[in-house]
Amino acid sequence: MHQVPTLALDGGNLLFKEERLSPGLLQQAKITAEGIVDSYSFMGYDAIAVGGRDLTGGLSFLQAQAERSEFTWLSANLVRKKTMQPIFLPSLVRRAGSLTVGIIGLTGEGGALHFPGGDDALLLNWRRVLPDLVADLANRCDLLVLLSNYTPDENREIARVTPEIHLIIQSSPQSKNQDPELANNTLILQTGKQGKYLGWMLINWQKSKKWGREDTTRELAFKKQELDGINGRIRRIERRESREDLLNLRSYQNLLASRENLLSEIIFLENERHVLIESGQAPATFENHFIALKENLPEQPEVRKIVDSAKSRVNVAGSSQAGSSATASPPPELQPETLVFTGWLTCALCHGPQTAFWKETGHSSAYQTLVSEEQQFNLDCLPCHVTAQYKETLISSNDVLLLSLPPHLQQVGCEVCHGTGKKHAASQNRSDISRKPDEAVCRRCHTPERDENFNYENDILRIACPASGSGQ
């Protein structure tokens, strides 16, 4: 198989799901971030831009990860306050076959990006650093790539101001897969966030350094495809008929004539394409594809080991956090008299058939699925496997308390869908409980990232409790 030179690049916002996390969740999220760094190093990435979500663990944490990374972290606009010098490399030059490729990193300004008072760090607007950097690299490189986590609109403005940039790989947290969009002479694209997709682009770069639809190449491909079809038909007729009969078979003779005409057209187009390439006028072309990383795809054993190790370390850290919490006196939120959620056992006192039905659903065993996978102390997983939230009502703003919930809340119980039941249990009034969960309640956990097959209209019917004979 013909091998082509490759570059593996990422627009950033890689290590954390949010730009700010609670202290308890951050401790575990750092372990996951380390696993991501190890995975990307193993996969042979060349460069990644520093994004706001890569700084969630703090500047010193990211610097430590950069030290152990086997790829390069880039940011041209994240600088030291005192010296105004970049903290990370602003750019990188790589050879890809016969091409010299310049790669620049930009850290976006949106979101909650901040630095503690002790951090000697400042984020500059791209207009202060990018034009001079692009001018320098444009003189030395055949192809310029920008890794950016600015917004799509801002990246279009970058393409307008600096047309020397040929490709922008963006990592806007709000965006999904984006097919290549030509802005000025810059292609802008991105894959879906949080590792659900990989994207690959096959580039046929030309001396013109201009993107375009190379009609000659496309027409040449169609003509060759048509020629293959005619040759196949000719061979089938030749196998079926004698040589003498072929001389008088009009359909066969017409096919021979069509083949001669096609061969002449193909030679003409190949010569035309050769002239365009040699003169430097041929436009650059590309193929782009997104690869959905589904569970049924074969796994890379070494990456699987890294993932499993990170998950195990996260669970051990959570277990330690749970142990520390258990040695202290129970917080007010978990005292029986102050718990905002009563648990499914209270619901079962009046709603026997509904409880029996619920026990047969995956919601009732949600916590046990974490136990079986040894992830019951993973604070990133727990919120969707326990009874601790209904809409804006939380059992506590302290994530660590999820590690110490009583057993009757260690599952997706009735109150996750219908609301806190304490008032309803006392009044037995319909108005004190929600009859049917709206889609937003389900979408809190059944997000595209976690459950890409979720369909509210269908799935709500599958988990709907039988009607209550008591009318409660």
What pLDDT is attached to residue 467? 76
Distance CA 465, CA 67 (A): 54
State the sign of the Cα–Cα–Cα–Cα dihedral 148, 152, 157, 159.
Answer: positive
Distances (CA, A) of 154 to 47, 187, 457: 21, 14, 37
Residue positions counted in the chain: 472
Vertex 340: Cα angle to 334 and 345 (nearest 5) = 85
Contact (CB, 8 A) for 303 and 42: yes
- Which residue has 């029986």 as its token pair? 336
The alpha carbon of 30 is separated from its chain's Cα centroid by a whole number of angstroms, namely 18
| 440 burial level (CB within 10 Å; 0-12, 13-18, 19+) | exposed
Q: Please name which of 321, 359, 336 lies closest in space to residue 406, comparing C-alpha atoms.
A: 336
In this structure, the strands spanning 122-123 and 91-96 are unpaired
Beta-carbon contacts of 371 under 8 Å, excluding residues fewer than 6 positions away, are: none
Within 13 Å of residue 262, how many CA atoms lie on the same side as its CB? 19
Token pair, residue 421, equals 């039941």
Beta-carbon contacts of 307 under 8 Å, excluding residues fewer than 6 positions away, are: 35, 39
What pLDDT is attached to residue 283? 81
Distance CA 180, CA 212 (A): 12
Q: Please name which of 235, 347, 216, 225 lies closest in space to residue 279, comparing C-alpha atoms.
A: 216
What pLDDT is attached to residue 193? 76
Q: Terminal CA-to-CA distance of the chain, rounded, Å? A: 68
Distance CA 181, CA 204 (A): 17
Beta-carbon contacts of 86 under 8 Å, excluding residues fewer than 6 positions away, are: 75, 76, 77, 78, 79, 80
Distances (CA, A) of 242 to 239, 245, 259: 8, 5, 20
What pLDDT is attached to residue 275? 67
| pLDDT tens-place values along the chain, 472 residues long | 457 899 999 999 999 988 888 888 999 999 999 999 999 999 999 999 999 999 999 999 999 999 999 999 999 999 999 999 999 999 999 999 999 999 999 999 866 566 766 788 999 999 999 999 999 999 999 999 999 999 999 999 999 999 999 999 999 876 688 889 999 889 999 998 766 788 899 998 988 888 875 566 677 778 888 999 999 999 999 888 888 888 888 899 999 999 998 998 888 777 767 766 676 677 888 888 888 877 667 888 998 999 999 999 999 999 998 877 665 666 777 887 788 899 999 999 999 999 999 999 999 999 999 999 999 999 999 999 999 999 999 998 888 889 989 999 999 999 999 999 888 988 888 888 888 899 999 999 998 778 878 999 999 998 888 876 544 4
Beta-carbon contacts of 11 under 8 Å, excluding residues fewer than 6 positions away, are: 48, 49, 51, 147, 148, 149, 169, 170, 171, 190
Distance CA 102, CA 89 (A): 12
pTM above 0.85, yes or no: no
What pLDDT is attached to residue 376? 95
